[in-house]
Amino acid sequence: MRNPKIVFIGAGSVVFTQGLLADLLAYPELHAARIVLHDIDPERLRVAEAVAHRIAAERGARPEITAEPDRKIALDGADFAINMIQVGGHDATVTDFEIPARYGLRQTIADTIGVGGVFRALRTFPVLDAIAADMAAVCPDALLLNYTNPMAMNVWYLSGKVRNVVGLCHSVYWTMQGLAELVGVPYDEVTYLAAGVNHQAWVLRFERDGENLYDRLDAAVERDAELRRRVRVEMYRRLGHYPTETSEHSAEYVSWLLRHDAEIDRLRIPVGDYVGISAENVREYERTREAVRTGAELPVEGTGEYAPQIIHSMVTGTPRVVYGNVVNDGLISNLPPGCVVEVPCAVDGSGVRPTRVGALPPQLAALNRTYVSVNELTVRAALEGRPEYVRHAVMVDPNASATLSLDAIWRMCDDLTKAHGDLLPPELRTTLVS
């Protein structure tokens, strides 16, 4: 595959686009790639194009870079499509926090499960339908690399609509970087295995040359009282395996924490954290836009993300192992078939091949199955046009069900349905209580 065509869908996420391009163009074999940037926001698309040219110059690369506002034209003949859209942007994120907060429901990130994750998925699905239709028409064999959250719900929804799709997240990689530093072992000397679901996978093996590095982690936790004030360290101590997503994320996927003021204080849980992160993302884009306007220097820094590694491996045949979110076709035996799981994947010139992990420890699978239930109900709500399934998804969500009454859950879903309006699938715009 010489000079692959790589399409960025949602390239107006300029800072993320910038990091991915820096990684892609660090590979000499990709210096002549055809890169097409697509976004529905003309200004953001112009900024992304300018940034892409500057990164290429910094890397000494001569890719063919174009900006295309028509998604179907952008995708025509693509080999790879990278999806990183955020439907509704910052305003929709604020809505996902403010309305539940009126009911007393606390969230931290609200992009994976929980009521925030459910409604983020529902407003993303119609755009995924359009992307899938375009790909079927003009690039049916392209590999879709999805970064858009909620990862598991989006990949599950796409799995019946796109021939080749893999969801990518940096959580396993950065978790293992952090753990290696914590136990004082260079990352390159660590071997590990993780598996589960996105943002709630588990480190099943953590070793160096046969040494169980969990023993070193236990010692580090024992001697550092502040380390014990982290949600995922608490989960590790109770469950026996370290979770692969941050404490901020992990806090809202369980029922034991956010309803309790004392636990929020003890474990330093930042309620509403993503609203600030989202606002900072907007400011970062504005700083990048200004740097483009004035000609100021822009950082060209790699991210270690998996999409550039996968593309390089498939183009050159270089073997690698990455972590991907894929349909569970017997990969994790005690999670439901057809759900989306996060497992190691071998990549080379023949494509991406998920690894069969077997059974998770039962306590980990039990937590993952609750997460999967929220996913399933949300996906089926959209596929079958069943607005009651939206409410059922929130009813089984651990954080919402531990905090709110049934009536409050249904009224909250009605309020969010009204607030997001036309962003939702038409069949799901119905309110059921008010």
Print the SS3 string covering the chain.
CCCCEEEEECCCCHHHHHHHHHHHCCCHHHCCCEEEEECCCHHHHHHHHHHHHHHHHHHCCCCEEEECCCHHHHHCCCCEEEECCCCCHHHHHHHHHHHHHHCCCCCCCCCCCHHHHHHHHHHHHHHHHHHHHHHHHHCCCCEEEECCCCHHHHHHHHHCCCCCEEECCCHHHHHHHHHHHHHCCCHHHCEEEEEEECCEEEEEEEEECCEECHHHHHHHHHHCCCHHHCHHHHHHHHHCCEECCCHHHHHCCCCCCCCCHHHHHHCCCCCCHHHHHHHHHHHHHHHHHHHHHHCCCCCCCCCCCHHHHHHHHHHHCCCEEEEEEEECCCCECCCCCCCEEEEEEEEECCEEEECCCECCCHHHHHHHHHHHHHHHHHHHHHHHCCHHHHHHHHHHCHHHHHHCCHHHHHHHHHHHHHHHHHHCCHHHCCCCCC
Gap between the Cα atoms of 286 and 280, Å rounded: 10
- Tell me what pLDDT residue 31 has: 97
- Tell me what pLDDT residue 20 has: 96
**Is residue 221 over pLDDT 70?**
yes
Which residue among the candidates 31, 53, 170, 260 is catalytic per the annotation?
170
Cα distances (angstroms) measured from residue 146 to each of 94, 101, 155, 279, 357: 23, 29, 7, 23, 22
- Tell me what pLDDT residue 2 has: 79
Gap between the Cα atoms of 409 and 99, Å rounded: 11
**Is residue 303 over pLDDT 90?**
no
Is the Cβ–Cβ distance between 203 and 364 less than 8 Å?
no
Q: Which amino acid is at 186?
A: P
- Residue 387 CB partners (closer than 8 Å, separation 6+): 381, 417, 427, 428, 430, 432
- Tell me what pLDDT residue 369 has: 98
Whether 368 has a binding-site annotation, put simply, is no
Enumerate the domain spans of the chain.
5-88+110-168
Max CA-CA distance within the chain? 61
Gap between the Cα atoms of 388 and 380, Å rounded: 10
- Tell me what pLDDT residue 300 has: 76
Higher pLDDT, 221 or 433: 221
Q: Is-catalytic flag, 170?
A: yes
Is the Cβ–Cβ distance between 406 and 85 less than 8 Å?
no
**For residue 89, what are its two tokens?**
């942007």
Q: Which amino acid is at 117?
A: G
Reference 405, options 418, 416, 394, 417; nearest CA is: 394
Residue with tokens 């690698």: 320
Per-residue pLDDT tens over the stretch 369-379: 999 999 999 99
Mean pLDDT across the stretch 14-28? 94
**For residue 227, what are its two tokens?**
């380390």
- Tell me what pLDDT residue 294 has: 93
Confidence of residue 301 (pLDDT cuts 50, 70, 90): confident
Confidence of residue 27 (pLDDT cuts 50, 70, 90): very high
Confidence of residue 63 (pLDDT cuts 50, 70, 90): very high
- Tell me what pLDDT residue 1 has: 64
Place domain 5-88+110-168 in its CATH homologous superfamily.
NAD(P)-binding Rossmann-like Domain (3.40.50.720)
**Positive or negative torsion for Cα 359, 365, 366, 370:** negative
Least confident range from 13-27, 131-145, 401-415: namely 13-27
Mean pLDDT across the stretch 289-312? 90
Is the Cβ–Cβ distance between 387 and 433 less than 8 Å?
no
Mean pLDDT across the stretch 85-90? 96
- Residue 370 CB partners (closer than 8 Å, separation 6+): 396, 398
Whether 169 has a binding-site annotation, put simply, is yes
Mean pLDDT across the stretch 55-84? 97
- Tell me what pLDDT residue 38 has: 98
Gap between the Cα atoms of 21 and 38, Å rounded: 14
Q: Which amino acid is at 234?
A: E
Average pLDDT, the chain: 97
**Is residue 125 over pLDDT 80?**
yes
Share of the chain above pLDDT 70, in %: 100
Reference 109, options 295, 246, 16, 221; nearest CA is: 246
- Helices 214-223 & 171-183 angle (0-180, nearest 10): 70
Reference 166, options 66, 313, 278; nearest CA is: 313
- Tell me what pLDDT residue 434 has: 66
**Is residue 73 over pLDDT 90?**
yes
**Is residue 297 over pLDDT 90?**
no
Whether 392 has a binding-site annotation, put simply, is no
Confidence of residue 39 (pLDDT cuts 50, 70, 90): very high
